Amino acid sequence: MVSMRKWVLLWLLPVVDVFALGKILSYYSSLGVRIPQRHAYYSMIERWVGYLPAGFVICWCVGFWAAFIIGFAVLAVAGPTELYLMHAGIQPWGFFRKKSWGLVTKIFLLEGYNAVGYYLLGALLKIVIFR
**The pLDDT of residue 48:** 92
CA-based angle 88:99:39, to the nearest 5?
A: 70
pLDDT at position 10:
62
Give the H or E element holding residue 85: helix 64-88
Per DSSP, 31 falls in state T
Q: What is the pTM of this model?
A: 0.86
Q: Are the beta carbons of 54 and 119 closer than 8 angstroms?
A: yes
Mean pLDDT by 10 residues, the chain (131 residues): 62 79 92 94 93 96 96 94 96 94 95 91 91 78
CA end-to-end distance (rounded Å), the chain? 21
Q: CB within 8 A of 88, min separation 6: which ones?
A: 96, 97
pLDDT score for 29: 95
